Amino acid sequence: MISAGKSITGCVIKTAITAGLLFAVLFAAAPLQAKQTAIQQIEARALSGNITAQITLADTFRAKQDIVQAKYWYRKAAEQNNPYAQNELGKLILLSNHSVTALQEARVWFEKAASQNQPDALYQPGVMYYRGKGCERGDCAIARSFYERAAAQSHGSAQFYLAMMYLRGHGVAQDYEKGVALMKASCENGEPEACPWVRNLTENEDKFRQIFSGKPSSDQPPR
Protein backbone atom coordinates (compact mmCIF):
# COMPACT_ATOMS: atom_id res chain seq x y z
CA MET A 1 0.00 0.00 0.00
CA ILE A 2 1.33 3.47 -0.91
CA SER A 3 1.68 5.82 2.01
CA ALA A 4 -0.18 9.12 2.09
CA GLY A 5 3.10 11.00 1.80
CA LYS A 6 4.11 9.15 -1.35
CA SER A 7 0.66 9.60 -2.85
CA ILE A 8 0.74 13.35 -2.26
CA THR A 9 4.25 13.66 -3.67
CA GLY A 10 3.34 11.67 -6.76
CA CYS A 11 0.23 13.78 -7.26
CA VAL A 12 2.24 17.01 -7.04
CA ILE A 13 4.80 15.74 -9.56
CA LYS A 14 2.14 14.54 -12.02
CA THR A 15 0.17 17.79 -11.65
CA ALA A 16 3.28 19.87 -12.28
CA ILE A 17 4.26 17.89 -15.37
CA THR A 18 0.74 17.82 -16.81
CA ALA A 19 0.22 21.53 -16.20
CA GLY A 20 3.56 22.38 -17.75
CA LEU A 21 2.99 20.36 -20.92
CA LEU A 22 -0.59 21.55 -21.33
CA PHE A 23 0.44 25.17 -20.93
CA ALA A 24 3.23 24.73 -23.49
CA VAL A 25 0.76 23.35 -26.06
CA LEU A 26 -1.85 26.07 -25.48
CA PHE A 27 0.82 28.76 -25.32
CA ALA A 28 2.10 27.91 -28.82
CA ALA A 29 -1.31 28.62 -30.38
CA ALA A 30 -2.19 31.74 -28.36
CA PRO A 31 -2.09 35.35 -29.69
CA LEU A 32 1.01 37.37 -28.75
CA GLN A 33 -0.69 39.58 -26.14
CA ALA A 34 -2.34 36.58 -24.52
CA LYS A 35 1.05 34.87 -24.39
CA GLN A 36 2.63 37.84 -22.66
CA THR A 37 -0.18 38.06 -20.11
CA ALA A 38 -0.06 34.32 -19.41
CA ILE A 39 3.71 34.38 -18.93
CA GLN A 40 3.45 37.30 -16.53
CA GLN A 41 0.82 35.52 -14.45
CA ILE A 42 2.73 32.25 -14.35
CA GLU A 43 5.99 34.05 -13.62
CA ALA A 44 4.43 35.85 -10.65
CA ARG A 45 3.42 32.49 -9.15
CA ALA A 46 6.81 31.00 -9.99
CA LEU A 47 8.62 33.86 -8.26
CA SER A 48 6.53 33.23 -5.17
CA GLY A 49 7.89 29.67 -5.09
CA ASN A 50 5.08 27.73 -6.77
CA ILE A 51 6.69 24.54 -8.13
CA THR A 52 3.99 23.89 -10.73
CA ALA A 53 4.46 27.39 -12.14
CA GLN A 54 8.23 27.02 -12.16
CA ILE A 55 8.03 23.75 -14.09
CA THR A 56 5.43 25.23 -16.44
CA LEU A 57 7.82 28.08 -17.29
CA ALA A 58 10.76 25.71 -17.63
CA ASP A 59 8.86 23.39 -19.99
CA THR A 60 7.66 26.38 -22.02
CA PHE A 61 11.11 27.91 -22.39
CA ARG A 62 12.59 24.53 -23.27
CA ALA A 63 9.98 24.11 -26.02
CA LYS A 64 11.07 27.53 -27.33
CA GLN A 65 14.73 26.37 -27.22
CA ASP A 66 15.53 29.01 -24.59
CA ILE A 67 17.83 26.73 -22.61
CA VAL A 68 19.13 29.44 -20.28
CA GLN A 69 15.64 30.32 -19.01
CA ALA A 70 14.58 26.66 -18.94
CA LYS A 71 17.57 25.77 -16.77
CA TYR A 72 16.86 28.72 -14.48
CA TRP A 73 13.31 27.63 -13.73
CA TYR A 74 14.08 23.92 -13.53
CA ARG A 75 16.78 24.82 -11.01
CA LYS A 76 14.27 26.79 -8.91
CA ALA A 77 11.97 23.75 -8.74
CA ALA A 78 14.90 21.35 -8.33
CA GLU A 79 16.10 23.30 -5.31
CA GLN A 80 12.69 22.56 -3.77
CA ASN A 81 13.46 18.85 -4.22
CA ASN A 82 11.15 18.19 -7.16
CA PRO A 83 12.51 15.03 -8.86
CA TYR A 84 11.13 15.83 -12.32
CA ALA A 85 12.85 19.22 -12.29
CA GLN A 86 16.07 17.71 -10.92
CA ASN A 87 16.17 15.17 -13.72
CA GLU A 88 15.37 17.69 -16.47
CA LEU A 89 17.96 20.12 -15.09
CA GLY A 90 20.58 17.39 -15.23
CA LYS A 91 19.72 16.70 -18.87
CA LEU A 92 19.97 20.36 -19.85
CA ILE A 93 23.29 20.74 -18.06
CA LEU A 94 24.68 17.86 -20.13
CA LEU A 95 23.11 19.26 -23.29
CA SER A 96 24.85 22.61 -23.01
CA ASN A 97 28.17 21.74 -21.37
CA HIS A 98 30.41 18.67 -21.39
CA SER A 99 33.09 19.87 -19.01
CA VAL A 100 34.04 17.68 -16.04
CA THR A 101 32.44 20.21 -13.69
CA ALA A 102 29.17 20.15 -15.64
CA LEU A 103 29.15 16.35 -15.72
CA GLN A 104 29.64 16.21 -11.98
CA GLU A 105 26.86 18.76 -11.39
CA ALA A 106 24.48 16.83 -13.66
CA ARG A 107 25.28 13.63 -11.76
CA VAL A 108 24.41 15.34 -8.47
CA TRP A 109 20.97 16.37 -9.77
CA PHE A 110 20.32 12.94 -11.31
CA GLU A 111 21.18 11.25 -8.04
CA LYS A 112 18.94 13.61 -6.06
CA ALA A 113 16.04 12.68 -8.35
CA ALA A 114 17.05 9.02 -8.30
CA SER A 115 16.89 9.01 -4.51
CA GLN A 116 13.15 9.65 -4.95
CA ASN A 117 12.86 6.72 -7.41
CA GLN A 118 12.17 8.86 -10.48
CA PRO A 119 12.62 6.18 -13.22
CA ASP A 120 14.41 8.26 -15.84
CA ALA A 121 16.64 9.77 -13.15
CA LEU A 122 17.59 6.26 -12.04
CA TYR A 123 18.56 5.47 -15.62
CA GLN A 124 20.68 8.60 -16.17
CA PRO A 125 23.31 8.00 -13.45
CA GLY A 126 23.37 4.34 -14.52
CA VAL A 127 24.57 5.48 -17.94
CA MET A 128 27.06 7.90 -16.40
CA TYR A 129 28.60 5.26 -14.16
CA TYR A 130 28.64 2.67 -16.92
CA ARG A 131 30.21 4.93 -19.51
CA GLY A 132 32.44 6.89 -17.14
CA LYS A 133 30.82 10.31 -17.58
CA GLY A 134 31.80 12.23 -14.49
CA CYS A 135 32.48 8.96 -12.64
CA GLU A 136 35.06 6.22 -12.52
CA ARG A 137 34.88 4.31 -15.80
CA GLY A 138 33.43 0.83 -15.73
CA ASP A 139 31.85 1.06 -12.28
CA CYS A 140 29.47 -1.72 -13.20
CA ALA A 141 28.11 -2.57 -9.76
CA ILE A 142 26.80 0.96 -9.20
CA ALA A 143 25.54 1.21 -12.78
CA ARG A 144 23.71 -2.11 -12.47
CA SER A 145 22.06 -0.98 -9.24
CA PHE A 146 20.62 2.12 -10.93
CA TYR A 147 19.58 0.16 -14.03
CA GLU A 148 17.84 -2.49 -11.94
CA ARG A 149 15.83 0.08 -9.99
CA ALA A 150 14.76 1.84 -13.21
CA ALA A 151 14.08 -1.48 -14.95
CA ALA A 152 11.81 -2.52 -12.09
CA GLN A 153 9.67 0.51 -13.00
CA SER A 154 9.46 -0.60 -16.66
CA HIS A 155 12.03 1.89 -17.98
CA GLY A 156 12.73 0.48 -21.45
CA SER A 157 16.20 1.94 -21.95
CA ALA A 158 17.38 0.74 -18.54
CA GLN A 159 16.07 -2.74 -19.35
CA PHE A 160 17.98 -2.63 -22.65
CA TYR A 161 21.30 -1.78 -21.01
CA LEU A 162 20.75 -4.32 -18.26
CA ALA A 163 19.92 -6.97 -20.87
CA MET A 164 23.19 -6.27 -22.65
CA MET A 165 25.10 -6.56 -19.40
CA TYR A 166 23.63 -10.04 -18.79
CA LEU A 167 24.04 -11.17 -22.39
CA ARG A 168 27.69 -10.15 -22.48
CA GLY A 169 28.53 -11.02 -18.89
CA HIS A 170 29.73 -7.49 -18.36
CA GLY A 171 29.86 -6.76 -14.63
CA VAL A 172 27.49 -9.68 -13.89
CA ALA A 173 27.50 -13.44 -14.31
CA GLN A 174 26.50 -14.13 -17.90
CA ASP A 175 22.86 -15.21 -18.16
CA TYR A 176 21.49 -15.53 -21.69
CA GLU A 177 17.92 -16.29 -20.60
CA LYS A 178 17.76 -13.32 -18.25
CA GLY A 179 19.23 -11.09 -20.95
CA VAL A 180 16.60 -12.20 -23.45
CA ALA A 181 13.78 -11.71 -20.91
CA LEU A 182 14.98 -8.17 -20.16
CA MET A 183 15.33 -7.42 -23.88
CA LYS A 184 11.74 -8.55 -24.47
CA ALA A 185 10.54 -6.33 -21.62
CA SER A 186 12.55 -3.43 -23.06
CA CYS A 187 10.90 -3.88 -26.45
CA GLU A 188 7.45 -4.03 -24.85
CA ASN A 189 8.22 -0.80 -22.97
CA GLY A 190 9.05 1.15 -26.10
CA GLU A 191 12.84 0.97 -26.48
CA PRO A 192 13.24 0.97 -30.30
CA GLU A 193 16.65 -0.73 -30.32
CA ALA A 194 15.38 -3.68 -28.30
CA CYS A 195 12.87 -5.16 -30.75
CA PRO A 196 15.39 -6.10 -33.48
CA TRP A 197 17.56 -7.64 -30.78
CA VAL A 198 14.61 -9.76 -29.57
CA ARG A 199 14.09 -11.15 -33.07
CA ASN A 200 17.77 -11.97 -33.48
CA LEU A 201 18.17 -13.47 -30.02
CA THR A 202 15.15 -15.76 -30.41
CA GLU A 203 15.32 -16.64 -34.11
CA ASN A 204 19.09 -17.17 -34.15
CA GLU A 205 19.61 -18.39 -30.62
CA ASP A 206 22.52 -20.76 -31.30
CA LYS A 207 24.41 -18.11 -33.25
CA PHE A 208 23.99 -15.44 -30.59
CA ARG A 209 24.77 -17.79 -27.72
CA GLN A 210 28.08 -18.42 -29.47
CA ILE A 211 28.67 -14.71 -30.07
CA PHE A 212 28.10 -13.93 -26.39
CA SER A 213 29.97 -16.95 -25.11
CA GLY A 214 33.18 -14.99 -24.52
CA LYS A 215 33.45 -12.15 -22.00
CA PRO A 216 33.80 -8.67 -23.52
CA SER A 217 36.75 -6.42 -22.92
CA SER A 218 36.35 -4.55 -19.64
CA ASP A 219 36.65 -1.20 -21.40
CA GLN A 220 33.98 -1.89 -24.01
CA PRO A 221 30.49 -1.21 -22.63
CA PRO A 222 27.59 -2.44 -24.76
CA ARG A 223 25.79 -0.25 -27.27
Render pLDDT for 40-49 as a digit per residue (tens, 0 to 9): 889 999 999 9
Confidence of residue 216 (pLDDT cuts 50, 70, 90): very low
The residue with greater pLDDT, 94 or 27, is 94
Report CA torsion sign: 31, 36, 37, 43.
positive
pLDDT tens per residue, range 129-177: 887 665 555 578 888 999 999 999 999 999 999 999 999 888 888 999 9
User: Does position 24 have pLDDT exceeding 90, yes or no?
Assistant: no
Is residue 218 located within the same domain as residue 159? yes
Give the pLDDT score at 137: 56
Distance CA 71, CA 21 (A): 16
Total domains in the fold of the chain: 2
SS3 content of the chain, % helix, strand, coil (to 5): 75, 0, 25
**Structural domain of 221:** 140-223
The amino acid at residue 45 is R
CATH of the domain at 50: 1.25.40.10
63 within domain boundaries: yes
Q: Does residue 7 lie within any of the structural domains? A: no
| Structural domain contains residue 24 | no
| CA 202 to chain CA centroid, nearest Å | 29
* Assessment of whether the complete model's pTM goes beyond 0.85: no
75 in a domain, yes or no?
Answer: yes
What are the CA-CA distances from residue 182 to residues 31, 176, 177, 211 (Å)? 48, 10, 9, 18
145 and 187 in a single domain? The answer is yes
Whether residue 146 sits in one domain with residue 110: no
- One domain, residues 104 and 146: no
- Clarify whether residues 78 and 147 are in a common domain: no
